[in-house]
Structure 1
Amino acid sequence: MAKTRTPPYRFPVTTVIVDDDTDFLNNFALELGDDLAYRLFDSPGQALGFLEDRRASLPPLYQRCFSPHRDAVGWPMRDHYLRLDVSSLERESLNPNRFGEVGVILVDYAMPEMDGLAFCERIADEQVKKILFTGVGDEKVAVQAFNDGLIDRYLRKHETGVIEQVNRTIRELQSQYFRDVGDLIHQSLRKGEAEFLEDAAFARYFDELCEARGIVEYYFVAEPNGFLMLDADGNPGRLVVLTDEDMQAHWEIASDQECPPALAEAISRRSIVPYFWRTGGYYRPECVDWEDFVYPAQAIDGRQRYYAAYVDAPQAYGDMPGAIHSHAAYLAELDAANALRKR
């Protein structure tokens, strides 16, 4: 099915794997993709405790980015709603614990302490995606659990090629996790605020950009609209996405400020995307080096025409690389912790 929406944020999340067979767990983990973060548990009770502690200490971002709000102070029952803090999405890139957010759980069905379905019923976060490992005799139970919405997938534990299925399924469900939690944010953005997020043409462009640039995490940013994007080593890039209306506003403001004719012409022809991050987003007379703040525009024809530019190593984020806890560093820490656990 073609992708029609771009999640407002995404970063690699952790997969929790639960099986009472410790030897199976350790051998199984060796076959997982090198880019997949995981936590292993041979006790479902301990796994549930870990999940509960994680949510208590740091709820998932899709919950933290909303806060209670009311329009009329002194009217306790009037116009209460949740307000989206868009800036919190970008700030999450500086959260060193973000990769510990659990997006997928893989659990064995047949365990003496607690069966896999009972385990799934006790997971508090409804957005977390659940995979059930089954034996041949458990398939009917798994099918019923899938139909009831208790699990998202089930896999036969000892089937040939199951490792490939697991790696593929984890990646698919991670994507589904961010599509689902992103829907909550899509609904809260003001109409017309970032329509490209719901445009299939932009989604295709964006996926290709992420693949070409090795992007593993991204966060929607406003003013100007676009994304902060990071590769596995935490190197930042900034995607700026403007509409014709945005470009017209840039042209009018720059013209009013008596900008160089070459700048006005380039904006008028839509050949460049302005990114005047030092002067509040728009051209000002002090921008004598204006060529350093404009980038070649790539037109994207969707529901409307968008003009996009990817800014590699943007000066606006010059201090970020030293402050970023990268996904590569997180994976190295997990590998070291898992090695110690096996001793």
Structure 2
Amino acid sequence: MKLPIYAHPTLTVLVDDGSAFLQDLAARPRARKIFHQADAALAWLMQSPRHARAPLRVNHDLPPCSVTVDVEGIFRISSRRERFAVPSVVVVDFYMPHMNGLDFCRALQYLPCKKILLVDSAEERLAIDAMHDGLIDRYLCKQDAGASQLLERQIEQMERAWFLDRERVAHDLLAMHAYSFLQCPRVAEVVRQLYRRHGFVEHYIFPQPSGILLIDGAGGAQLMVVETEAGMRAHYEIARDSGAPRPLLQALALREVLPFFNHVGRDGMYDKAIGGSWQRYCREPQVCHGDETYYWALFALPSSYLPEPPYTHAQYMREAA
């Protein structure tokens, strides 16, 4: 799967008339809203918070008209509390009074959320047909071994797919230029591994240097700088033209270091004021061989790079409790 241009925890809506299966899911440490009546869930979803799209800029000054993505506007989403309250996935039991799960999903078919239907084995054929018709996105038999864990994985997959669907235009525009790594499944897998290893819960693409801002539940931010071969050559050429020390030039030429020179400007490139202290701004790069070769490393992000501190997921969960 491709990497969304940004992703953060969202709200999962559980619609169930009282079974212990979804009650157990609602108690887990992610934002969940549970309804016991289908009509109450429908009414809430129709009025629920909506996803704010990535900001686009249209330039009418020169023909032909051009459209660009405001990348700085994307990572500023991390300061908005309301992002955590947007419903992205709805899980509904097939057996509901007055309205079964399929009728419920049919009533929601024009809302931009992913739908997972819980069924017994007797309704599996109906669920398969509903998937083929585009009425639901996934289904799960409650009698399956490990069904609760399977449902958690489905929710996670559907949340990622929801972000990709909602930002497809911005994603494709960015992937054509400085963010080609967005199209690479191997880079997406690296990011998923970093989520698990470091406890990150959200990410946003980042400008100058091109990369991914990763934020954990408590608001700790790190920048995953990602460079292509062309980007590494640019680092070398700018450092050479700025009179960088020979050891730095050799290390850049051999791809032994990935720099993020963050003490001057905002583009991460070498400046002659850095002089011989260049090592403190460099990391040994990891290499990802995907659609092309990508070099990446994690850096602590100076607070000056974020106009506003992130509103954290931990804070949201405390306030929502």
* TM-score interval (norm. to shorter): 0.7 to 0.9
- Of 65, 73, 76, which residue of structure 1 is paired with 2:54? 65
SS at the partner of 1:238? Answer: strand
- Provide the C-alpha distance between the structure 1 equivalents of 2:56 and 2:258, rounded to a whole number of angstroms: 33
Q: Does 1:196 align with 2:185?
A: no
SS of the counterpart of 1:189? helix
Quick check: 2:55–2:74 contact (8 Å CA) kept in 1? no
Counterpart CA distance in 2 for 1:81 and 1:319 is 28
> How do residues 15-164 of structure 1 correspond to structure 2 at under 5 angstroms?
15-19=12-16, 21=17, 23-24=18-19, 28-32=22-26, 34-55=28-49, 59-61=50-52, 64-67=53-56, 69=58, 71=60, 83-123=68-108, 127-135=112-120, 138-157=123-142, 161-164=146-149
**Change over 3 Å in CA distance of 1:121–1:15 after alignment to 2:** same
| Offset at residue 317 of structure 1 (A) | 5.2
Q: TM-score, normalised by structure 2?
A: 0.85
Alignment match, 1:292:
280
Deviations along 1:245-285, one digit per CA (max 9) or x if unpaired, are: 21222222222222222222222222111212332322222
> In structure 2, what is the equivalent of residue 12 of structure 1?
9
Aligned-pair CA distance for 1:127: 4.3
Distance 2:139 2:65 in 1: 40
CA shift in 2, pair 1:249/1:98, >3 Å: same
Q: d(CA) in 2 for partners of 1:182 and 1:126?
A: 15
CA shift, 1:37, in A, is: 1.7
State the one-letter code of the partner of 1:50: W
Among 195, 199, 211, the alignment partner of 1:214 is 199
Mapped partners of 2:131, 2:298: distance in 1: 41
Amino acid at match of 1:173: M
> Normalising by the residue count of structure 1, what TM-score does the alignment of the two structures yield?
0.80
Question: Aligned-pair distance for 1:140?
Answer: 4.2
Whole-Å separation in 1 of the counterparts to 2:292 and 2:25: 45
| CA distance in 1 between partners of 2:108 and 2:13 (Å) | 12
Paired AA for residue 314 in structure 2: A
* Cα distance in 2, alignment partners of residues 150 and 93 from structure 1: 32
Deviations 1:151-172 (A, max 9, x none): 0122345667543343232223
Q: Structure 1 residues 156 and 245 mapped into 2: Cα distance closer, same or farther (>3 Å)? A: closer
TM superposition shift of 1:124: 6.1
Retained in 2: the 8 A contact 1:105–1:128? yes
- Structure 1 regions of 5+ residues with no counterpart? 337-343
Structure 1 residues 258, 135: CA separation in 2 closer, same or farther (over 3 Å shift)?
Answer: closer
Letter in 1 for 2:296: A
Distance 1:225 1:150, change over 3 A: same
1:304 to 272, 276, 292: 292
Would you say the 8 A contact 2:261–2:281 is kept in 1?
Answer: yes
Structure 2: runs of 5+ lacking an equivalent: none
How far apart are residue 232 of structure 1 and its match?
Answer: 1.9
Pair 1:305–1:250, CA change in 2 (3 A): same
* Alpha-carbon distance between aligned partners in 1 of 2:108 and 2:55, rounded to the nearest angstrom: 22
Any idea what the Cα deviations from partners look like across 1:89-125, whole Å, max 9, x if unmatched? 2111111121112111012334344333333233365
* Residue deviations 1:271-330 (CA, integer Å, cap 9, x gap): 11121233232222222443332222222233332221101x32245778x932222232
CA distance 1:155–1:301, change in 2 (3 Å):
closer
State how many pairs are aligned.
318
Report which stretch shifted further, 212-221 or 114-123.
Answer: 114-123
* SS in structure 1 of the partner of residue 273 of structure 2: coil
Matches of 2:272 and 2:152 in 1, distance apart? Answer: 54
Q: What amino acid is the match of 2:298?
A: Y
Matched, 1:315 2:302: yes
RMSD (CA atoms): 3.0
Question: Whole-Å Cα distance in 2 between the matches of residues 262 and 284 of structure 1?
Answer: 15
